[in-house]
Structure 1
Amino acid sequence: RGIAFSCPGKVDTDTGIISFGGTLPFLDGVSLIKEFQPKYDMPVSVINDGKAAALAELWLGNLKGIANGLAIVLGTGVGAGIILDGKLYQGKHFQAGEISFMMKPSAAPSYNDMYGFSGSAVNLIQKVNMVLGTEDKKDGTAAFEAINQKDPRVYPIFETYAKEIALMICNIQAVLDLEKIVIGGGISAQPIVTGEIRKQYLAIRTNFPFMANTLTEVEIDSCRFLNDANLLGALYQLLLHDK
């Protein structure tokens, strides 16, 4: 009945044109609607993967019934989808939620100061495997086996990573005042990920009583659909687009 795409990059959901393509730069300037609709003669929709994850959670997941929420997708970078007043907020240029581009204070800003780098799940796994001496530095199973065992050689690396995400959440919450934030991406299948992010978030609030007394604590949970959230959200976008 239709074809639904979820992809990185800035996506105009009306035209299907992808700008830059994120980690898939060859998609820059491509309209998947124009590429596939004439060929298959059926509805085609395209949406950014982070925004798709938010749609999935709003539709059938852990943001269902939430008027103001956020889905954070931890992968190569940090994707996100913002829900405001019960709807996906894309922004004037379809780039709302590109939290990979949020930057930390630095005298000489570089890519390393972007949350898309320090919040990258891929980078986390590589760092852990470097310490472990794992042959395949991309081996997520080996990395999380050690993390779940709280291996003292690598658990501090994981704690630092979770703190980075927690700091990002503090900044976002100060701006948007959300009800609930859900964590997605491949590593979200590990309960320890959301658990440690929540722990670090609460620790930050404890260390800054003025913040805790002023800003209401946001609920932090995992995405119900974990790494499949972007696929289900792409389907929901198709259903909305085809009405």
Structure 2
Amino acid sequence: MKTYLSIDIGGTEIKFAQFNQAGNVIDKGKVKTKHEKKNFLATIDQIIDNYSAEIKGIAFCTPGKVEKTRIRFGGALPFLDGVDFAQRYGNKLNIPVAVINDGKASILAESWLGSLKGEKNCAAITLGTAVGGGIIIDGHLLEGVHYQAGELSFMICNSSHLSKMAGSAAMTGSAVKFIQEVNHHLGYSDENDGQNAFDAIQEKNPEAVKIFHSFCLRIAILILNLQTVVDVTKIAIGGGISAQPILLPAINKAYDKLIYEINPVIGQTLTKPKIVAASFQNESNLYGALYNLLLQMNNENLNH
């Protein structure tokens, strides 16, 4: 049986899973991310060694911009700049290796087996520490001339706060910062406790509700800005926060208010995309990276 190893590299932890070709998980695990290049690569080496006798390909998902298989900048892990996993492992093991940016992986997962399945023009937004993004146009992943299409974190949302990304979507759309702001106003000791923040919102705490609606409006504005450029039929919202049942209705309500009440001209001109929850949450990158590998292998077979 053909199996594949998918590795999702994050700033906090590295997740990995062994899949069959249909996307069924055979085995999985995770380890803490080492923040020094030598030890980090040694961790990846060990994960791959554990599965090397059983796999026919390796799929990587990583922060940063990915130029074919080479990582640029590395996002939260800047020491990854210049690392090429295909060169490091493909030649050694004589198996295909694919590498994809984390935002693009999320939309591939949704397009393959999730809430965007069958959609030819769609997008995915992942709400986390920053904002991840991926776009599919005419059935194909939009990469861009410089492999940077969908880098929504760099969209400028407030020109009066440009220093250190303060006015960017990475900050204004950060789910982590939204959670921290709610808990700070509540005086709660663990500012990263998302459930506590949402409990306060559902209990109608006035300040928590105000912060929540402000956050949802910012996400609605981000969706609107995206829609003005790519004009898709459906947008999936992912990230751990998307599991909260009150989030999607609130974002949809904020979008409707934006285009029908605040600026009706927009509503008369632009068609609203369907805004839905992503099917995959914390494991979307593993599935998306695998699908990217399978697509790459299929393209290579067609070209031979």
Q: TM-score, normalised by structure 1?
A: 0.94
Matched residue, 1:121? 175
2:204 pairs with 1:134: no
Runs (5+) with no aligned partner, structure 1: none
**Letter in structure 2 aligned against 1:2:** G
Instruction: Give the distance between the partners of 2:225 and 2:256, measured in 1 at CA.
Output: 14
- In 2 relative to 1, CA 126–40 (structure 1 residues): closer, same or farther, beyond 3 Å? farther
Q: CA deviation at 1:86?
A: 0.9
Of the candidates 154, 178, 190, which is equivalent to residue 232 of structure 2? Answer: 178
**Letter in structure 2 aligned against 1:117:** M
Runs (5+) with no aligned partner, structure 2: 1-55, 299-304
Q: CA deviation at 1:108?
A: 5.8
Q: Which aligned pairs between 1:126-165 and structure 2 lie closer than 5 A?
A: 126-165=180-219
Relative contact order, higher structure (CA 8 A, sep 6+): 1
**Letter in structure 2 aligned against 1:98:** E
> What's the secondary structure of 1:97's corresponding residue?
coil
Instruction: Give the distance between the partners of 2:130 and 2:172, measured in 1 at CA.
Output: 8
Matched residue, 2:153? 100
**Letter in structure 2 aligned against 1:17:** R
Of the candidates 277, 280, 296, which is equivalent to residue 222 of structure 1? Answer: 277
Q: CA deviation at 1:155?
A: 1.4
Per-residue CA deviation, residues 210-232 of structure 1 (Å, 9 max, x unaligned), is 11111111110011112322211
- In 2 relative to 1, CA 126–184 (structure 1 residues): closer, same or farther, beyond 3 Å? same
Matched residue, 1:66? 119
- In 2 relative to 1, CA 231–196 (structure 1 residues): closer, same or farther, beyond 3 Å? same
> What's the secondary structure of 1:23's corresponding residue?
coil
2:63 pairs with 1:8: yes
Matched residue, 1:200? 254
Q: CA deviation at 1:134?
A: 2.1
Instruction: Give the distance between the partners of 1:122 and 1:40, measured in 2 at CA.
Output: 39
Equivalent pair of 2:157/2:172 in contact (CA under 8 Å): no
Per-residue CA deviation, residues 82-115 of structure 1 (Å, 9 max, x unaligned), is 0100111110111000011010242463321101
Instruction: Give the distance between the partners of 1:138 and 1:108, measured in 2 at CA.
Output: 24
Q: Which aligned pairs between 1:45-84 and structure 2 lie closer than 5 A?
A: 45-84=98-137
> Which stretch shows the higher mean deviation, 21-30 or 114-123?
21-30
Instruction: Give the distance between the partners of 1:61 and 1:149, measured in 2 at CA.
Output: 31
Instruction: Give the distance between the partners of 2:202 and 2:92, measured in 1 at CA.
Output: 48
Higher relative strand content = 2
Structure 1: which 4+ aligned runs deviate by more than 4 Å?
Answer: none
The sequence identity of aligned pairs, in percent, is: 51
RMSD of equivalent CA atoms: 1.5
Of the candidates 71, 78, 81, which is equivalent to residue 28 of structure 1? Answer: 81
> Which stretch shows the higher mean deviation, 45-54 or 136-145?
136-145
Matched residue, 1:241? 296
Instruction: Give the distance between the partners of 1:234 and 1:150, measured in 2 at CA.
Output: 39
Instruction: Give the distance between the partners of 2:116 and 2:207, measured in 1 at CA.
Output: 36
Equivalent pair of 1:54/1:70 in contact (CA under 8 Å): yes
Q: TM-score, normalised by structure 2?
A: 0.76
Instruction: Give the distance between the partners of 2:179 and 2:242, measured in 1 at CA.
Output: 13
- In 2 relative to 1, CA 2–147 (structure 1 residues): closer, same or farther, beyond 3 Å? farther
**Letter in structure 2 aligned against 1:155:** V
**Letter in structure 2 aligned against 1:216:** T
Q: CA deviation at 1:29?
A: 1.3
Q: CA deviation at 1:74?
A: 0.5
Instruction: Give the distance between the partners of 1:148 and 1:230, measured in 2 at CA.
Output: 30
Equivalent pair of 1:189/1:227 in contact (CA under 8 Å): no
> What's the secondary structure of 2:124's corresponding residue?
strand
**Letter in structure 2 aligned against 1:219:** K
**Letter in structure 2 aligned against 1:140:** G
